[in-house]
Each structure stands twice: as structure tokens, then as C-alpha cells.
Amino acid sequence: MNCNYACKTVDHGVSRRAFLGGVGGLGLGALANPLAAKGLAIQQKRVLVVFLAGGVSQLETWDPKPGVVTGGPFRAIPTSVPGIHISELLPYTASWMHKLALVRGINTKENDHGKGAYIMQTGRRQEPANEFPHFGSVCSKLLTEDKNPLPGYLNITPNGSGAQSSKDAAYLGPKFGSVSISDGKAPANLEKPAGINSEAEMQRHLLRQNANERFYSRRKSAMTEAYTQTYDQARMLMEKRGLFDITSESGKLADRYGKHDFGRHCLLSRRLLEGGATFVKVSHTNYDTHHENFDFHIEQLGEFDRTFATLLEDLDIRGLLDSTLVVVMSEFGRTPTINRNFGRDHWGTAWSVAMGGCGIQKGAVVGKTNATGTAVVDREVNGGHLFHTYLKALGFDSKKNFYVDQRPLPMADPKASPIEEILL
């Protein structure tokens, strides 16, 4: 349905759902593959980003302030970590807080959707003369092996084009751009045409290889390399097309994820990560609640909460969580002040993100806001600090450089540093 409560700067869609109340074990142990449940000896590191588009309210999620004028109507509830409380709208997630960490002192000083999303995905502010690579593109370059049939940066979009965006990779080159998986559907043309047998397909492949080699001998470039790499990867991906078929999963497991778009997309993300994907981003819309903030957070978080907790448990049972960096982010938070439409507006001054898995201290909390949530009063950080933290959690020295045409380019903002308090 059309979103009539959000700002008009971006296209935010929303699906109204009933609030899923209650808390308790999700019971995935009986649903998972028993061999996978023993824990896979997988050393590959991977990343899952859950992007809550529009600007989720920190006061209705990770940093509740009940009983004050800015706090809203919801209670803070205990979690699986003594002393840590989050919003009552996240009862299932609360039972997994022992696997997560919270950063409650973010100040990005940015209230624009596009610029805020850019900061959170690149760790830098936008500059007129420079473009910086998205975290997914950085991970694609650092983590993805050349023979991996899956693109290094997969972006599962609610209604995307299914195209590749080389812009996300900036100076790293188009090879590391994002590939959109539109509405969780497999990329087009993964089936071999019925009229072409295996022998004919191999002949076509060898002809293309010979033509490429002749072309490279005269005019090799980053664009031609990316074109060839994309073609070769698509050819390998045809053998992995079954990863996109979530109907092969248990019906009970699919029910726990939820039959809504976000549930389907999260289930697909787990299949892709287990199948060898390096970086998967899943978006959930829409949290741009300038109107009826509390009603819409009940509905949206009711959809998010159980699905996200199911995803964490599914990754954990399959032995993937400890080697997967999981980050729940947004482009900013929402104002402590409640406007006349019972909404909250854009707020990049004092807000929160959650993360867990690979390289992250379980049950840690860093940063603090004041009693009304209007300002950070302890351990203020920005998008640059977060970007350094993600890289270090994955085992990289975030102070190092990329080299493009022998020119050193810092991996992360040199003015920032990792948030050591939440790192292992």
C-alpha cells in the first residue's frame, strides 16, 4: 500500500501487518538439517546487513526511554543479558541479546535519507570530488574468492531492478559492484536454452574465451575485465540456481521466517550465505514515521522481530553465526521529540545500531545517551568508527590502504578508528 506517513524524499513502501506478540524459543533445532546442526567447519567469513530503510526509531528498538516525555508509550524489557533492556516491541530479539552487541552513541550529524545511507554504507560523508566504495563492495574485494560462482555483493531488494550497480564499488572497479536480487527472485536466464546441448554450449564458451583473449591483447581495461568476470560468474551461477529456490525449505521453517516479503528475503539470505555468498544485504521498509510512529513501529517491528530472531537462530544452528558478521543498521534514527502527528522526524544526532557474530563481543553495549535521548553523553561515534569496526571484526587492518593505479586510498576514514569495546 502507499505510504502516507513518510517524508517525500524517497519512495518508501509499507506492508501493514498485525503485531506478532509473545516471546519464547523459536524451536528451529528440529527443523534444521541434522548434519548442519553439528556445526559446519566453515572458516570463510561473510557478512549480513539488515537495513531498516527510512530511519528506525532507536527509542522503539535498542535504546528505550520509558517514563520520560520523549519516551513514547512502550516499556523496556529485560533481555538474555542481565542489565540490558530493549523495547518491548522486540521480545524475540531480546532472547538473543547474548549473541548481539549494541552501539548506542552514534552521531552522524546527518538527517537526509540519501546522505545518511551513504555514511552508513561507506563510513564517509559524501564529497563532491570523491566517491567511496560501499561496505559490500569492500567485502567483495577482500573476502570473495575468484572461483566463487556467487557475486560478492548481493543486495536483496523488495522491488529492485535486478541489475548490477558498479557505482557502489567506486574506485574499486565495476567487478565489485552490487548485484540486486529483485524481490528475492533468482536472476533471469539461469536456465540453459532448451535448444542448446552441452557440447554446443562448450563450443560457444571456448569461442567467447578466444575472442576475449584476442581483445585483451590490445585493449584490456577494468570495464572489459568486469564484463568477462560477470559472464564467467553467470555461467557458474547457473549451476547454483537451486540456492534461490526457498520452496525447498521446510514449510515449518518458512512459517517461522514469515510468509511476508521480509521473511522470504531473510530465508533466501541464509540460503545464499550457507551456499557461499560473501555479503548479503536485506532491506526492510518502511520506518520513515513522520506520522503515527508508534502504530507503524508496532506493525513493522512485529514483522521484523520474529523473522530476525529466526534468522539468528538458523545461522547459529547451522554453525554459521560465529563466522558471519551481522549488522542491523539504518540511515539515521528518529527524533526524541514527538511531533503533532504522533510521529518522529529524522534524527542523526543520537541513535543506535545492533551487530553480532564474527569478531563481535557477545552482550556488549557501548555508548550512552542522556535520560531523554537527545544527546550522546558517553563514547560518541560516527559512521567512520562503525566502518573501521566492521573491517576489524572481519580480521582486517582497517588502517591499511587500497592501491588504485599505485595511488594509496585508505580503506576507512583515517580520522576514525575501530570501536574496540565491542570487538573480540
Instruction: Scan for cell 559446519, then name that residue.
Output: 40
Angle at 293 (CA atoms; ends 116, 184), nearest 5 degrees: 60
Q: Residue 15 has what pLDDT? A: 39
The three-point CA angle 31-259-148 to 5° equals 65
- For 102-133, give one letter per residue: b (16+ CB within 10 A) or e: bbbbbbbebbbbebbbbbbbbbbbeeeeeebb
Which of 319, 389, 320 shows the shortest CA–CA distance to 354? 389
Measured distance CA(164)–CA(160) in Å, rounded: 10
Cα 317 from Cα 315, distance rounded (Å): 6
> Are 322 and 9 a contacting pair, CB within 8 Å?
no
CA atoms within 13 A on the CB side of 216: 14
| Neighbouring residues of 259: CB distance < 8 A, sequence distance ≥ 6 | none
Per-residue pLDDT of the chain (424 residues; tens, 9 = 90+): 455 567 766 444 433 333 334 455 566 765 555 444 434 434 699 999 999 999 999 999 999 999 999 999 999 999 999 999 999 999 999 999 999 999 999 999 999 999 999 999 999 999 998 999 999 999 999 999 988 889 999 999 887 655 567 799 999 998 899 989 988 887 766 666 666 766 766 676 677 667 767 776 666 666 666 556 566 656 667 677 889 999 999 999 999 999 999 999 999 999 999 999 999 999 998 899 999 999 999 999 999 999 999 999 999 999 999 999 999 999 999 999 999 999 999 999 999 999 999 999 999 999 999 999 999 999 999 999 999 999 999 999 999 999 998 999 999 999 999 999 999 9
How many Å from the N-terminal Cα to the C-terminal Cα in the chain? 43
- What is the model's pLDDT at position 18? 35
Q: Domain 45-186+245-422, what fold?
A: Alkaline Phosphatase, subunit A (3.40.720)
Q: Which three cell numbers stand for residue 379?
A: 563514547
Residue extents of the structural domains in the chain: 45-186+245-422
Alpha carbon of residue 63 to chain centroid:
20
Q: DSSP label at 75?
A: P
Q: What is the predicted pLDDT for the residue at 113?
A: 98
Q: Which amino acid is residue 151, in one-letter code? A: P
271 three-state secondary structure:
helix
Rounded to whole angstroms, the Cα distance separating 278 from 152 reads 5
